[in-house]
């Protein structure tokens, strides 16, 4: 929930300009930008190298659901991706795995690719139950019909979001390998799923993170609010 209309417009123009100026970055990465709902249409007008994503979607198709946005509405204005189950939605809006799965099913019905977030809190990691937590989230949050074509997984250790803390390369390797293993146990196309890392990713640590096996990209938070930082991460991929 950042920025006004002028800020959103300035940011997308800056990002697009920097990508276009360095075609090697454009060829190496797929870019998705997920502005607040009220800025989606404006950003869409200027997003050429970047694909448009939303930050959430309703599990309902339409009707008396005041304040919600449906998958049909998002698809109709050119949205292709939607973030689901972000730690902030799980924590502050009490979204359970079952709701995330229902939202994913609704999103897939309209051709949207879901970026499904999973991750443990600091207390859960300290208790050594991070695999149990993430395994349960994966099992409960992925909709029927999930495949690498309609779903991206994002691992975001809650304790490393906006805190300045970053999981060590070994932490990331272990969890991403675990997630891949969970996918392998359920999906024939498990090796084709993209698994993103999201937790205080910035230009100074991106290369180290991207070098870890099974890290296929990043879910970028605060650094995405500055085009220079956003593209500084991309050039490390």
Q: List domains and CATH numbers for the chain.
A: 53-234 (3.20.20.70)
Are the beta carbons of 178 and 135 closer than 8 angstroms? Answer: yes
Q: Of the candidates 137, 141, 146, which has an alpha carbon nearest to the alpha carbon of residue 188?
A: 146
d(CA 53, CA 34): 4
Four-residue CA torsion sign, 36, 38, 41, 46: negative
d(CA 212, CA 86): 22
Radius of gyration of the CA atoms of the chain, in A: 17
Torsion of CA 196, 77, 228, 173, to 10 degrees: 0
Q: What is the pLDDT of residue 229?
A: 96
Query: Where do we find the tokens 């698809």?
Result: 75
The pTM score is 0.96
Q: What is the pLDDT of residue 116?
A: 98
Q: 50-54 and 195-197: which strand pairing?
A: unpaired
Token readout for 15 is 């990002």
Q: What is the pLDDT of residue 46?
A: 97
pLDDT tens, position by position, for the chain (237 residues)?
Answer: 999 999 999 999 999 999 988 888 778 899 999 999 999 999 999 999 999 999 999 999 999 999 999 999 999 999 999 999 999 999 999 999 999 999 999 999 999 999 999 999 999 999 999 999 999 999 999 999 999 999 999 999 999 886 767 789 999 999 999 999 999 999 999 999 999 999 989 999 999 999 999 999 999 999 999 999 999 999 998
The DSSP symbol for 118 reads E
Cα-to-chain-centroid distance, residue 230: 14
Q: What is the pLDDT of residue 161?
A: 80
Token readout for 212 is 């870890």
- In DSSP terms, 155 is beta-bridged to 118, 197
Q: What is the pLDDT of residue 86?
A: 97
Q: What is the pLDDT of residue 37?
A: 98
Q: Which residues are the active-site residues?
A: 86, 156
Question: Please, what is the Cα angle at 229 between 38 and 193, to 5 degrees?
Answer: 75
């Amino acid at each position: 929930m950042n920025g006004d209309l002028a800020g959103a417009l300035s940011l997308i123009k800056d990002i697009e300009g920097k990508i276009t100026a360095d075609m090697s970055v454009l060829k190496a990465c797929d870019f998705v930008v997920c502005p607040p709902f009220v800025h989606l249409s404006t950003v869409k007008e200027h997003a050429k190298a970047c694909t448009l994503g939303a930050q959430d979607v309703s599990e309902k198709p339409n009707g008396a659901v005041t304040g919600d946005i449906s998958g049909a509405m998002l698809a109709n204005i050119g949205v292709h991706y939607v973030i689901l189950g972000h730690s902030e939605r799980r924590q502050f809006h009490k979204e359970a795995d079952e709701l995330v799965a229902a939202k994913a099913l609704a999103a897939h019905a309209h051709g949207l690719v879901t970026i499904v977030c999973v991750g443990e809190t600091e207390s859960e990691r300290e208790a050594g139950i991070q695999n149990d937590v993430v395994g349960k989230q994966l099992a409960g949050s992925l909709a029927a019909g999930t495949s690498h074509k309609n779903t991206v997984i994002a691992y975001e250790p809650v304790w490393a979001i906006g805190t300045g803390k970053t999981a060590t390369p070994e932490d990331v390797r272990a969890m991403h390998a675990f997630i891949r293993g969970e996918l392998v146990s359920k999906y024939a196309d498990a090796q084709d799923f993209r698994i993103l890392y999201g937790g205080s990713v910035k230009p100074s640590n991106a290369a180290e993170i991207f070098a870890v096996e099974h890290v296929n990209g990043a879910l970028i938070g605060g650094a995405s609010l500055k085009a220079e930082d956003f593209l500084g991460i991309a050039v490390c991929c």
